[in-house]
Amino acid sequence: MNQHTYIYTSSRGKVLGGKVSSKTLRVVPGGKLVTLCKYAYDELKDIGGLKIAYFITGIPDICSLERNRRSNYEESFLQRTDNGWLDHELRLKNTIVDTETKLKSINCKVVFATITTISFCLWNLHRLSIGKTSHLKYENAYDEMQLELNSILHDVNNFITEFNHTNSVITPFFHSPVHKCKSGEFRYLYNRLVDGVHPTFNLARIWIDRLSTAIQSNEGKFCKFYLTFFFVCKSY
């Protein structure tokens, strides 16, 4: 077990259970980053020594869920704001920075996985097919929403990669098996999402491998740093 690793994730990270070596795996369905950060802070603030918290989320921070149980209606969509779609990107970037700042105050390193897109069409039609909603209101706007979501994620994932690099941690690249780029053109393999949101078995295996590799690298690097720091301090 990686004694210094703590994982906080929305529902898509449930597939990691029992497959990735960590001290804690907390799954919060629909969990936004600020919620996962609060769990991490409360659980780790009194733990001494090396702590590395991994966050696997992002879609709940960007997308909206409209629900009316009386009329058996629910639908996931991308909400347009006064600034178009830009607010979603800026808000999430700020939350990433705030999360790192808050956990740094309790001597906890933070690692963010890149964010895999979802398919509005596949997910909402899936929910319709299993009776979780009786109708859809935004179906005609899915194509535009999808383009904007993918654009937002492209920028946010670049931000995450640079942010992790600045903090000297290895990034788990969850998005790249679905977000494919060739000659500057992106295509998205939505068939790797079993219902438009959650990973297929094969994609889950890739996520498990990539997260495990990042954990091993980060644990090794920071365990070595802490041991060196301890012995230097002890020599004085």
Among the residues of the chain, which ranges form H helices?
33-44, 59-62, 86-104, 120-129, 142-166, 201-235
Residues 153-178 pLDDT 10s: 999 999 999 999 999 999 999 999 99
pLDDT of residue 184: 82
Q: Which residue has the tokens 């383009």?
A: 147
pLDDT band at residue 222, thresholds of 50, 70 and 90? confident
Kindly report whether the global pTM for this prediction surpasses the value 0.75. yes
Q: Is residue 94 part of a domain?
A: yes
Q: Which residue has the tokens 């109708």?
A: 135
Q: CA separation (Å) from 144 to 6, 12, 118, 148, 149?
A: 37, 24, 14, 6, 9
Q: Is residue 28 part of a domain?
A: yes
pLDDT band at residue 1, thresholds of 50, 70 and 90? low
What is the Rg, in whole angstroms, of the alpha carbon atoms belonging to the chain?
19
Q: CA separation (Å) from 129 to 71, 139, 216?
A: 16, 14, 41
Strand-pair partners of 185: 182
Q: Is residue 78 part of a domain?
A: no
Q: Is residue 37 part of a domain?
A: yes
Q: Which two tokens stand for residue 81?
A: 């704001």
Q: Which helix (H) or strand (E) element contains residue 65?
A: strand 64-68
What one-letter code names the amino acid at 67?
A: R
Give me the domain span that covers residue 32.
5-65+83-118+144-175+201-235
- Measured CA to CA, the distance from residue 115 to residue 46 in angstroms comes to 30
Q: CA separation (Å) from 94 to 61, 82, 101, 156, 185?
A: 11, 18, 11, 11, 28
- Measured CA to CA, the distance from residue 194 to residue 3 in angstroms comes to 32
Give the pLDDT mean for 58-86: 93
Contact 128, 190 (CB under 8 A): no
Q: Is residue 223 part of a domain?
A: yes
pLDDT band at residue 229, thresholds of 50, 70 and 90? very low
CATH number, position 171 = 3.40.50.1110
Q: Is residue 183 part of a domain?
A: no
Q: Is residue 131 part of a domain?
A: no
Buried b (16+ CB within 10 A) or exposed e, 81-119: eeeebeebbeebeebbeebbebbeeeebbbbbbbbbbbb
Q: Is residue 134 part of a domain?
A: no
The answer to whether residue 14 scores a pLDDT higher than 50 is: yes
- Measured CA to CA, the distance from residue 5 to residue 52 in angstroms comes to 5
User: Average pLDDT over the chain, rounded to whole?
Assistant: 93
What's the number of domains the chain is made of?
Answer: 1
- Measured CA to CA, the distance from residue 59 to residue 121 in angstroms comes to 15
The answer to whether residue 224 scores a pLDDT higher than 70 is: no
SS3 37: helix
pLDDT of residue 231: 41
